[in-house]
Amino acid sequence: MNSEHIIERYGNLMKLESLISMDEKILPNTFVLEAPEPFPGFFGYYNEVPVDAKPLYVYFVLKHLYTLEEVTRAWLKIRTHFPAVNMHAAAGTVNIYNDLYHVLRIRHLDTYDQIAQLQELFIKEGFELAKKPSHKIEAQAIIRIKKFFILKEIDHGIYLDMTEKDHGYIVIPKLLSWKEFDDITHQVKNNWEKSNFDAAIGHFHNNFEITDMIRIYNPTLSLNYLQEIKAKYLARIK
C-alpha cells in the first residue's frame, strides 16, 4: 500500500495488566512496576523464543503529573544516550487498589541494567520519582497510556501498527465504558474458536474529532483475522 496510507495520530490506550513492584536493578527507594506478561498467553514478544533476561514493559511511578511537552522534550534528550536501542517512553496512569499513579511506561529495553540509568537521566531532566511503598505490590491494574500511533490503513476502519509488531486496530462506532469493553471482549472470546488474542480499548484524534478503536494483539495477525474480529465486536456493540 502506498505511503499516503501511513498516518500519525495521537491518542491513548487502556487495558488490564498484571503488575509487580521491582526490588532490584532500580535506584534505591524508588517505585518501579513491571509487567512480566503484558500479553497473557503469548511468549517471546521480542524474540522467536522466550527469554528471561529482557524486561518487557516497565513503569516508573512519578510524584505528580507531567505534561506531554515535558515528557516529549525529556525523552528526545534521553534517547540519545541509547542510539542502538529502540526503547520508547510514554506517559500514563496506573490504577491499583483504587489508587491512581502517574507513570512513565518504558518499553523495548535491552537489559534490566538500563533501568537505573534511565531513572537517573529522567531525574536530571527534572522528573521526581515516587518513593517505594512499604509493601510489595502484585496486582491487576488498569493502565492508560498516552501515545502517538503510526498506522497503516489496510481496510476501511482497520489499521496495522507500524512501530509495534503484531498490533492491529479496529474502529468502533462509539465510546465504550471499561465494563462494556470488558464484557464484550469476554463474549467474543467465549464464542469464537479464534479467541487467542489480547485486546485494549482506546482512541485517537483526527481532524478535531475522536475515533474510538480497539487494539488487537496476536502473533499471527492478518487482515482476514482483523476483519473477522471486527465483525464479532460490532455485532455486540449496541
pLDDT bucket at 121, cuts 50 / 70 / 90: very high
pLDDT bucket at 49, cuts 50 / 70 / 90: very low
Q: Could you tell me if 158 and 169 are in contact, meaning their C-beta atoms sit under 8 angstroms apart?
A: yes
Mean pLDDT to the nearest integer, 189-215:
94
Cα separations (Å) of 198 from 147, 159, 160, 215?
A: 19, 16, 15, 8
Q: Give the span between the Cα atoms of 228 and 111, in whole angstroms.
A: 37
pLDDT bucket at 42, cuts 50 / 70 / 90: low
Helix, strand, coil in percent for the chain, rounding step 5: 20, 40, 40
In this prediction, residue 48 carries a pLDDT of 46
Mean pLDDT to the nearest integer, 38-59:
62
Q: What is the DSSP letter of 81?
A: G
Asked if residue 14 has pLDDT above 70, the reply is yes
Asked if residue 43 has pLDDT above 50, the reply is no
Q: Give the span between the Cα atoms of 14 and 64, in whole angstroms.
A: 20
Amino acid making up residue 185? T
Amino acid making up residue 235? A
Cα separations (Å) of 104 from 56, 126, 127, 192, 220?
A: 14, 14, 10, 35, 29
Cα separations (Å) of 187 from 5, 117, 226, 228?
A: 32, 43, 17, 14
Mean pLDDT to the nearest integer, 58-86:
94
In this prediction, residue 41 carries a pLDDT of 54
- Classify residue 162 as exposed, middle or buried by CB count within 10 Å of its CB (0-12, 13-18, 19+): middle
Strand partners, 91: 104
Q: What is the DSSP letter of 64?
A: S
Count of Cβ atoms closer than 10 Å to residue 23 Cβ: 9
Q: Give the span between the Cα atoms of 167 and 189, in whole angstroms.
A: 18
Q: Give the span between the Cα atoms of 18 and 76, in whole angstroms.
A: 29
Q: Tell me phi and psi for residue 178, to 5 degrees.
A: -60, -40
Q: What is the pTM of this model?
A: 0.89
Q: Give the span between the Cα atoms of 39 and 165, in whole angstroms.
A: 13
Q: What is the DSSP letter of 62?
A: B
- Local structure of 233: helix, strand or coil: helix
- Classify residue 170 as exposed, middle or buried by CB count within 10 Å of its CB (0-12, 13-18, 19+): buried
